[in-house]
Structure 1
Amino acid sequence: MTKKQIDILLSTGNFPEVTGQRKLVETHISWVIVCDHFVYKIKKPIQYSFLDFSTLELRKYYCHKEIELNQRFAKDVYLKVLPIFKIQDYLAIGGTKGTILDYAVKMRKMNPDKQMDVLLTKDKVTPTDIRNLAERIAQFHGNAKIIYKKNVLDIKQRFNDLVAEKKFLSACFGIDKVGVIDHAIGTSNTFLDKNKKLLENRLSSGFFRDCHGDLHSRNIFLLPTPQPFDCLEFNDDYRHIDVLNEIAFLCMDLDAFGKRELSDLCIEHYNLKFPAMRTQEECNFFIYYKCYRANIRAKVNSLRAKSASNEEEKKKALAEVKKYLDLMKSYLELLING
């Protein structure tokens, strides 16, 4: 579909049920239409090095895969895949008549006030919420498919990709501020080379699993039962990771919100239910994974700053870059100082 067709669908298109609301939320890879009781997610016809939605058949395949993967922990949220039909100039989600233009993932709408990132900003996430969430994730990881074949050092290149943002960030912050990037890359390379054997042992021991892949507070609702959603369906390699890498993302996110006590509680309770961090060396890997996740968030926000449509958006994205660079630096210090 095109953006013009999305606009037609929003204004005059037919939906499976009557709805007074048709709100569009656009991401870099999807159009999401929020209705009164349901949400419809449509993949953009795009192709990147890590993602390919370029054909109708691929978009259909990944819609079904999104349903399949998310039903592992959100069965009542991810409902079905529906075709989008074109009948002359008329568009409809669902039905049987017309030419199939595209596909949509139908999801049950959840209360946006219960989204975890929203609750964190209001200081409404409790230790009980965190224990329940950690237990839910531990249970999911315990049942997830074990991955035995993977290049465990692929994380090195992903970490080092941050160097591509150095020139832009130097112009924004000054060279002194981004010196942490070279320091981080050097520390990461040394750490991974030194601990390659441990990573290989974790792979053979079953700690690499088919995880969520994007587990942070914006992808969790507290209803109050914890409800993760929106896992990565478009690239298996991004989900086939060390379980410590996954829980580290959530804990890093809590750190970024200034909730260190909740972050510590999260990994402590998770590890109690699913002992994935058994030695000091594995504790160091947990810190490294938090460092890696802060690195990725810094890069993502740098890219957002580059593509910002106005100065306010750019300023906001750069503030996020600074926050994550500072967080990455704090984790590096923990790694270096033991």
Structure 2
Amino acid sequence: MMASAGDMDTGSVLLAEKVTALSDPAAYPEFTAAVTAVETHFSWVFLTDGFAYKLKKPLRTEDMDFTSLAGRTRNCEREVYLNRRLAPDVYLGVVDLMATEDGRLRLFGSGRVVDRLVRMRRLAEDDCLEIRLKRGLVASEDVARLARGLAGFLTSQPPLGPVSPVGLRHEINTSLLDLAVACDGCFEQAVRRVTARLLAFLEYRSDMPGRDRLVDGHGDLRPEHVFLGPPLRIIDCLEFSDALRRRDPVDELAALGMECERLGGAWIGPVLLEAYGKAAGVFPPAGLCAFYRGLRALVRARIAVRHLMEEPIRAPERWPRQAAEYLRLADRAAAELTVPSGRRPSSSAAL
């Protein structure tokens, strides 16, 4: 659940006023013929001819607090720092939104700082993996190059310790709770089938979890965040929570493969994993990959239905449909999992 708060620290300049001002080309230091404003879950993004500017919403959740200017500033700085690991030439820095003496809001000139924004170089839409997938323009070599880039990044990160079965079990059970009651219980049967298989695999597979697999990764690998280039760039890592960004590399790869499957590119996951194994010298077990594909699809379904708990609800017809799509992927992945014959999760492994 999200809570919103006023901007008392910014001199009572409301979010709506900032959005209106930043939708005007005159607000920017460089010339731009037009500005496109795009609302996301946590931000407003303003696309000029050559750049993108991200304004954080004054929200608070269990993982973050953007209700103060100081909190949003820290997050902006953290976003730039972390994303420069995979897109060093894209994240240009943090800029001030100023209230000038004539009462206008501008990203240049002198005045009172009322907010901070992340400034990014705008990337070519034709390089985006999601766009290329939808157009049928992704080749095996594109995926192999992506795998090599991810291998270089993920294997360079220091190990942070073993994956926690307790943490994974919590993700599964939280998803079960949220989804079983969503949309008047229409997902309950599928959710219980998926979670039972995931919990059984988690309890009985000796290679799950492994040792020293957690790294400080991307945390939100999706086709819309991958720009094939060249050069390869991956943007929008999950910057607001260190805990959620710490993943098994297999988890990261499986999540990306699952998202490609949702867009019609089911072939990409296996090619990605094979190429990653060759580059990293470690081939992830098939069962482990299926487990993480199922888990990430289940979590994405949970995130979709949580949008229905917001006030106001944006695009209310979208979220049940999206949840159903992810649940189908979770069910498909969970069906690939096997556990010893006749074994069932113990009562401590499930709700």
Query: Structure 2 length as normaliser, TM-score?
Result: 0.85
Aligned pair partner of 1:290 in 284, 287, 293: 293
Q: Write the mapping of 1:193-204 to structure 2, written as runs, cut at 5 A.
A: 193-195=203-205, 198-199=208-209, 201-203=210-212
Aligned pair partner of 2:319 in 313, 317, 320: 317
How much has 1:122 moved relative to structure 2? 1.1
CA distance in 1, matches of 2:44, 2:317: 25
Question: More displaced, 220-229 or 39-48?
Answer: 220-229
Given that 2:162 and 2:214 are in contact with CA atoms closer than 8 Å, whether structure 1 keeps it comes out as no
Q: Write the mapping of 1:225-244 to structure 2, written as runs, cut at 5 A.
A: 225-244=231-250
Question: Does residue 79 of the first structure (1) align with residue 92 of the second (2)?
Answer: yes
CA distance in 2, matches of 1:98, 1:123: 49
Given that 1:13 and 1:91 are in contact with CA atoms closer than 8 Å, whether structure 2 keeps it comes out as no
Q: Give the letter aligned to residue 164 of structure 1.
A: D
Question: Does residue 93 of the first structure (1) align with residue 107 of the second (2)?
Answer: yes
User: What residue number does 2:10 align with?
Assistant: none
Q: Write the mapping of 1:39-78 to structure 2, written as runs, cut at 5 A.
A: 39-78=52-91
User: What residue number does 1:300 align with?
Assistant: 303
Question: CA distance change for structure 1 residues 141 and 333 in 2, over 3 Å: closer, same or farther?
Answer: same
Give the root-mean-square deviation of aligned CA atoms. 2.4
Aligned pair partner of 1:164 in 178, 187, 191: 178
Residues 249-304 of structure 1 show CA distances to partners (whole Å, capped at 9, x for unaligned) of 111112222322222111110111113445xxx43121110001111221222234
Q: Write the mapping of 1:261-272 to structure 2, written as runs, cut at 5 A.
A: 261-272=267-278
Residues 77-109 of structure 1 show CA distances to partners (whole Å, capped at 9, x for unaligned) of 0011111111242111144x2111111111000
Query: Structure 1 length as normaliser, TM-score?
Result: 0.88
Given that 1:13 and 1:90 are in contact with CA atoms closer than 8 Å, whether structure 2 keeps it comes out as no
Give the secondary-structure state (helix, strand or coil) at the position aligned to 1:52: coil
Q: Give the letter aligned to residue 324 of structure 1.
A: Y
Aligned pair partner of 1:182 in 177, 189, 192: 192
Given that 2:98 and 2:114 are in contact with CA atoms closer than 8 Å, whether structure 1 keeps it comes out as yes
Structure 2: segments with no counterpart, 5+ residues: 1-13, 341-351
User: What residue number does 2:331 align with?
Assistant: 329
Structure 1: segments with no counterpart, 5+ residues: none
Question: Does residue 192 of the first structure (1) align with residue 205 of the second (2)?
Answer: no
Question: CA distance change for structure 1 residues 299 and 155 in 2, over 3 Å: closer, same or farther?
Answer: same
User: What residue number does 1:248 align with?
Assistant: 254
Given that 2:55 and 2:118 are in contact with CA atoms closer than 8 Å, whether structure 1 keeps it comes out as yes
CA distance in 2, matches of 1:30, 1:194: 41
How much has 1:168 moved relative to structure 2? 2.4
Question: CA distance change for structure 1 residues 224 and 184 in 2, over 3 Å: closer, same or farther?
Answer: same
How much has 1:191 moved relative to structure 2? 2.3
How much has 1:72 moved relative to structure 2? 0.6
Given that 1:67 and 1:78 are in contact with CA atoms closer than 8 Å, whether structure 2 keeps it comes out as yes
CA distance in 2, matches of 1:337, 1:319: 31
Give the secondary-structure state (helix, strand or coil) at the position aligned to 1:319: helix
CA distance in 1, matches of 2:267, 2:125: 25
Given that 2:128 and 2:228 are in contact with CA atoms closer than 8 Å, whether structure 1 keeps it comes out as yes
CA distance in 2, matches of 1:81, 1:308: 29
Give the secondary-structure state (helix, strand or coil) at the position aligned to 1:202: coil
User: What residue number does 2:18 align with?
Assistant: 5
Q: Give the letter aligned to residue 256 of structure 1.
A: R
Aligned pair partner of 2:145 in 132, 135, 143: 132
